[in-house]
Structure 1
Amino acid sequence: MAGSSFPAWSRSVEQCATEFGVDVNRGLSEKIIEKKREQYGWNELKKVDGKPIWKLVLEQFDDLLVKILLVAAFVSFFLTYIDGEQSGENGLTAYVEPLVIFLILIINAAVGVWQESNAERALEALKEMQPEHAKVLRDGELIPDLLARELVPGDIVELRVGDKVPADMRVASLQTTTFRVEQSSLTGESQAVIKTPHAVQLEDVELQGKDCMVFSGTTVVNGCCVCIVVSTGMNTEIGKIQAQIHEASLEEDDTPLKKKLDEFGERLTLVIGVICVLVWIINYKYFLSWEWKGLLPTNIKFSFEKCTYYFEIAVALAVAAIPEGLPAVITTCLALGTSKMAQKNAIVRKLPSVETLGCTTVICSDKTGTLTTNQMSVMQLVGIGPVPGSIRDFYVEGTTYSPYDGGILGWSGILDRNLQTIAEIAAVCNDAGIAYKGTQFRATGLPTEAALKILVEKMGVPNVLAQAKIDQQRDSGEHLSDHSMVKLGCCEWWNLNQNRVATLEFDRSRKSMGVIVRNAIGKNRILVKGAVENLLERSSFLQLKDGTVVPIDDFSRDSLLAKLNMMSSKSLRCLAFAFKEELDEFDTYNGENHPAHQILLDPVNYANLESDLIFAGIVALQDPPRQEVKKAIEDCREAGIHVMVITGDNKNTAEAICREIGLFYEGEDLTGKSFTGRDFLALSPEKRIKVLSGKSGQVFSRAEPKHKQEIVRILKDAGEVVAMTGDGVNDAPALKLADIGIAMGIAGTEVSIDSSASNLFL
């Protein structure tokens, strides 16, 4: 089937259009759509039929200890009935013991059925990630709100900023210079990914390497494009994850506690059975006697009534020996454990998980959003000093999108001219925003640009009166309103002083973004941010601390590049800021009617416009580790728990984060400890087991859902009790398969939370 096996990422747009029988400029016809609908079905995830209630109820009694208690309850009921018949007393109070046993078992079964019925909610949560409508071209007409479930392979779909991708699609053409998609929940990548219409050279490439593909359930954060639908429904990547979740649910093993209880039940049954038989045999002389004549017994006397009587005594002894209150005691103890964990913001969704957590021998952790905050933050600000070649470092606190989260270390509160320029570019050359929902600040647009706006809020503005007014608004909470955009006073101040008249959109060749702005006196400038090496290469001047502009020399370039290398080695993503004041024909540019506007219509001209720049400074950003992670890893080491990180992010970033959180020591040789998911699965089964049996830390990068699931499966087969932590859709199959799945909840997807339904939610 083309919709499931055709490698669209390695084929040209023309080849894809031919494969799916579509004209990109007209879309599919109704006749072809009907045929494709018969072939591929609806674009929706299949509903997996859950177990019927009667089957769930029976499964709750498929436990050895429960079966023993059932037998004990029936025998107790029978003996009580016999005794009542003989004594003439057969009131309800005589049946208290068997009734209590039955009540305990019924309550346990009811709780079990309720938990099991919630366990498959992960599959329903996946459906909620799919959009309801799509903008589709059919028969030459653009349908703005076609139901997404009606899409078929070959449909032509237009995507814009904020859209949720309705199916797996091949990018056909860009309508803007750049197009970015946020797919961290699916792939684990910490940054929004740039997509292009260019084919990938390799057919066998990991999900993260398919730069010309957009995947169902991900979100567009920048740009606009036209795509060809190549996979729908269960053939999409998110559909494959649903299949993996369902497969993992079928492989669920008993918890360590259940295994121990089964073992205890078997031994208890054997011991009680032997004792009861011995007690009955010891009393044989009361119901069985004989005389010997030679070697043969004669005159045998047998009393069936007494035989039954002593059998009843033996059975009564067995009933008395069975711990009817054990399930209730276990449930109570586990409930107390869940109560204590709830006080630490850990919600246990199944009681046996409390005991399983205590038995854990290996923790497999996702990185993005689990070990890290999944929120880009500015960690370091580099300004230019008073003389060429001198550099000033400022370290920025805070790891969230909240303007209140931390400040700037070593900050005097005074914005010199060089720092003003950095703040201005960060605020104006920026399309992101911050939204407030409940108690969370969230980025809208590119996370990197949102982090820059938070930096500007921490830097402030040079106007004392304006800053006082901004501080007053913040203190009063005027800038906060639930489910709305946050009013960023400092960023607004910079934008009010500069009228943005044109945008030079980012592209991969020049690796920068620029804006042409006009100030209050009608003077135009270009403000630019981008890759440090590229901007340094296109810079002819340097702005010093007091605002003086001087020619940039080799010593200054080398100093800035050395600083860049130092920050990059710590997995920091660096952006440079620069500007230009002499714009020639763009000095008076004011919009589309200006003669120079034609130059802006071709992005090839942008690099020339962004030449002879004045270099201003650098910021270093990171998806920072959570503050509590390093201590948690140390505690795990002391407890003898093996920790490994499994992430979809790239290898260098994963290794740097692992060093920062203490999983590896600085300078530690990572040979045999760091693998990509593809490289690990390429090893022989024996070598995989050997790698995973090491008791030092390990990191697996570029890991897809199937890689995570396979690692967990190998560990379980080796007898380990595996805990898996994660927050994304890509973590869901492994969360489901692990002995205990731990969903990182506040920012986590509903899919990951519900996949850990049998386990733990943080």
Structure 2
Amino acid sequence: MEDAFYRTAEEVLETFRVHKDFGLTEEQVALHARLYGQNTVSREEGVPLWQLVLKQFQDQLVVILLFAAGISFILALFEEADDRVTAFFEPLVIVLILAANAAVGVIQETNAEKAIEALREYEPDTATVLRNGDLRLLRAEELVPGDIVEVSVGMRVPADCRIIELASTVLYADQSILTGESVSVSKSPEPIADRQGIIQDKSCMLFAGCTVVRGKAKCIVTGVGERTEIGKVRRNIAETKAVTTPLKRRLDEFGSFLSRVILFICIIVWLINVQNFWNPEHGSALRGAIYYFKIAVALAVAAIPEGLPAVVTTCLALGTKRMARKNAIVRSLPSVETLGCTSVICSDKTGTITTNRMSVTRLLLVDDLSPAGNGKLVELEVTGHGDFSPFGDVLYGGSTLASPLKAMPQLAELSVVSAFCNDASIVFNMDSRHFDKIGEGTEAALITLVEKLRTPDEDYNAGIQSMSLFQRASAARTYWSRLFERVATLEFTRDRKSMSVFCRRFSDDTLHMFVKGAPERIIERCQYVRLSNGKHSTITPNLRRQLLEAVTDLSAGVHALRTLAIATRDDPPPLETIDVRDTVGFARYESNLTFIGLVGMVDPPREEVRAAIETSALAGIRVIVITGDNKATAEAICRQIGIFDDYEDLSGKSYTGREFEGAL
């Protein structure tokens, strides 16, 4: 049901004749399975081996060589017994060369097809489905259009769904596998008026293979199997027809030209010697005709460069092997040649130039206040692997802080806020041997920061060193969870651009409020600031201005970081006075805050990108980065990877839309 995004939730439910609190009956499931199909993607029928082999012999030069080898083989049968072995040698060599050529091509195409099947990894295994009024856990492939499913944080969406009801104040989904952008997208049940809307516009839809990073919702399945957006991507890849490359085109042209020339010369040579057919040395005119026909065929075989297909195939195979080491999928050997003809490379930024893994790289704290009201700001650098690995250090002035939470007391409070004002988590994937996120990338970056900061307990920190990688993913967070309990949440909303949680300390049963959000919104609500001595002081107009300027410097500077402000409220209102469903009134609770610090994070470029761009420049290839990110962030990334020089002045350049994409 491709028009579900501009219909209301009630209209979609009526179309499938289903109640949101009851789901489909078993009879309806069977009917919808027949009408719309189930949630499976039909596997593309594999090409038989004999067809793959036959495909390798469709090149014109190869056909000419096969024809010449066949003629040579037939003529060898008429040779004298003493010369027959030598006569068979030439066609045998030609056949062996062509067989090796075909084997390389078949192996390459088989490997490419296996790589394309990797898209199946985005198909979820199970789904929580409402049927006959009961909530069940079913295999995702059993879903049919009209099924009511529930999705929540960390779940992969099992099919294309229309949101009908939110079970939380907000809902965010990661659509990077379809759109390439790492920023999660806000979702709501409201229909979209624009019927020409693209994927990014369909805020009331969840797409198969995407991940829910925040919130919970009830949805109705509108598309399954190949009718989903990810299914269309897979089908388009499978249906893509091979484009004739310049090398293939030139070889075909050369083969056609050579075949005509050779055929013409052979006929001329044979006709010139017609008068010699009756030479007494041949015994008869027929023997003479055969003799000069052999000469013509020998001339043709000699003129054909039988080594050319083998040399071309070998070169392409070597190029394919080198690209395979870089995880590049090459579906057919001739397509490797297009890289040699490339003059411009247009690349997406998120996930291609960058790792698509947010990482905290800068922290900003307030050390002290001068009598004039100016703050002494302290900037810390956070190191690591540029992913969600919990291993890294905190640097101050270029020196590593051995115990950062003791050296900077505000960091302990910042760590607690980051750990609890957060719905994401980090896990160690045993299959890939990497740390992966569950939830939104920005929040996962904060959890990674918590793990890098470790804890104020040195004995516990010593024990962390001996933990398994699975335990290490949440070691520091586990420590803090023994001290605090999260009891209520004021979820993020667009209007106030912040999230708050209420936590109770076990030791004294006191209530604390932790807040994170957009710096400009948080700073204006702060009345106090936490200093390095652990005390709080009234925030001054000068300090407020300094902090806002620091946000601008971090956001638009060389690093172009995405910034978040961390704060607390020391005297939160009693829980019984708070209505967590009143999202409009959340802002009034987030007042009289105490500013803790700023967190700057970035989606770092891949380590190998800069060297690749330098190599491209040496080869005369221009690299263009195309992104939907803001100008400052794009410029900063382009400086880091070498597209712009570190000191190149871009202040006089102003790009918007397509102009900016082309300039980068």
User: In structure 1, what is the Cα distance between the partners aligned to 2:632 and 2:501?
Assistant: 32
In the alignment, structure 1 residue 457 sits paired with structure 2 residue 451: yes
Aligned counterpart, 2:61: 65
User: In structure 1, what is the Cα distance between the partners aligned to 2:168 and 2:156?
Assistant: 18
The residue type equivalent to 1:432 in the other structure is A
The residue type equivalent to 2:516 in the other structure is K
Shift of 1:574: 1.3
Shift of 1:101: 1.9
Question: Pick from 560, 580, 585: which aligns with 2:569?
Answer: 580
Structure 1 residues 409, 273: closer, same or farther in 2, change over 3 A? farther
| Alpha carbons 2:109, 2:331 under 8 Å: kept | no
In the alignment, structure 1 residue 539 sits paired with structure 2 residue 526: yes
Shift of 1:77: 0.5
Structure 1 residues 213, 500: closer, same or farther in 2, change over 3 A? same
The residue type equivalent to 2:615 in the other structure is D
TM-score (norm 2): 0.87
Shift of 1:326: 2.9
Shift of 1:566: 2.8
Aligned counterpart, 1:367: 349
Provide, for residues 648-688 of structure 1, a one-character-per-residue CA deviation record: whole Å limited to 9, x for no partner: 66777556644553445633635487369xxxxxxxxxxxx
Alignment of 1:302-701 (within 5 A): 303-338=285-320, 350-387=332-369, 388-390=373-375, 391-398=377-384, 399-405=386-392, 407-408=394-395, 410=397, 411=399, 413=401, 414=404, 415-437=407-429, 438-467=432-461, 469-470=462-463, 473-474=464-465, 476=466, 478-480=467-469, 484=470, 486-519=472-505, 520-569=507-556, 571-586=560-575, 596=576, 599-600=579-580, 602-647=582-627, 654=634, 657-658=637-638, 660-663=640-643, 666-667=650-651, 669=653, 671=655, 674=658, 697-698=662-663
Q: How many residues align?
A: 641
Structure 1 residues 627, 667: closer, same or farther in 2, change over 3 A? farther
Aligned counterpart, 2:250: 260
Structure 1 residues 160, 671: closer, same or farther in 2, change over 3 A? closer
| Alpha carbons 1:375, 1:447 under 8 Å: kept | yes
User: In structure 2, what is the Cα distance between the partners aligned to 1:562 and 1:205?
Assistant: 38
Provide, for residues 89-122 of structure 1, a one-character-per-residue CA deviation record: whole Å limited to 9, x for no partner: 4766652321232233233334434444455446
Question: Pick from 71, 76, 79: which aligns with 1:75?
Answer: 71
The residue type equivalent to 1:572 in the other structure is L
Please state whether the residue corresponding to 2:345 is helix, strand or coil.
Answer: strand
Structure 1 residues 409, 266: closer, same or farther in 2, change over 3 A? farther
Shift of 1:579: 0.6
User: In structure 1, what is the Cα distance between the partners aligned to 2:424 and 2:564?
Assistant: 16
Aligned counterpart, 1:293: none
Structure 1 residues 156, 466: closer, same or farther in 2, change over 3 A? closer
| Alpha carbons 1:456, 1:490 under 8 Å: kept | yes
User: In structure 1, what is the Cα distance between the partners aligned to 2:286 and 2:394?
Assistant: 90
Please state whether the residue corresponding to 1:518 is helix, strand or coil.
Answer: strand
Shift of 1:54: 4.2
Structure 1 residues 167, 650: closer, same or farther in 2, change over 3 A? farther
| Alpha carbons 1:133, 1:147 under 8 Å: kept | yes
Structure 1 residues 66, 192: closer, same or farther in 2, change over 3 A? same
| Alpha carbons 2:382, 2:392 under 8 Å: kept | no
User: In structure 2, what is the Cα distance between the partners aligned to 1:39 and 1:349?
Assistant: 35
Please state whether the residue corresponding to 1:244 is helix, strand or coil.
Answer: helix
User: In structure 2, what is the Cα distance between the partners aligned to 1:658 and 1:396?
Assistant: 21
CA-based RMSD of the aligned residues comes to 3.2
User: In structure 1, what is the Cα distance between the partners aligned to 2:272 and 2:395?
Assistant: 85
Shift of 1:44: 2.5
- Structure 2: which 5+ residue stretches go unaligned? none
User: In structure 2, what is the Cα distance between the partners aligned to 1:506 and 1:671?
Assistant: 32
| Alpha carbons 1:81, 1:90 under 8 Å: kept | no
Please state whether the residue corresponding to 1:82 is helix, strand or coil.
Answer: coil
| Alpha carbons 2:77, 2:84 under 8 Å: kept | no
The residue type equivalent to 1:568 in the other structure is S
Of 521-530 and 369-378, deviating more is 521-530
Shift of 1:59: 2.2
The residue type equivalent to 1:493 in the other structure is Y
Aligned counterpart, 1:233: 225
In the alignment, structure 1 residue 129 sits paired with structure 2 residue 119: no
Provide, for residues 50-98 of structure 1, a one-character-per-residue CA deviation record: whole Å limited to 9, x for no partner: 5444443332221111011101101111221111xxx244766652321
Shift of 1:603: 4.5
Structure 1 residues 223, 566: closer, same or farther in 2, change over 3 A? same
| Alpha carbons 1:188, 1:647 under 8 Å: kept | no
The residue type equivalent to 1:454 in the other structure is T
Shift of 1:597: 7.5
Aligned counterpart, 1:39: 35
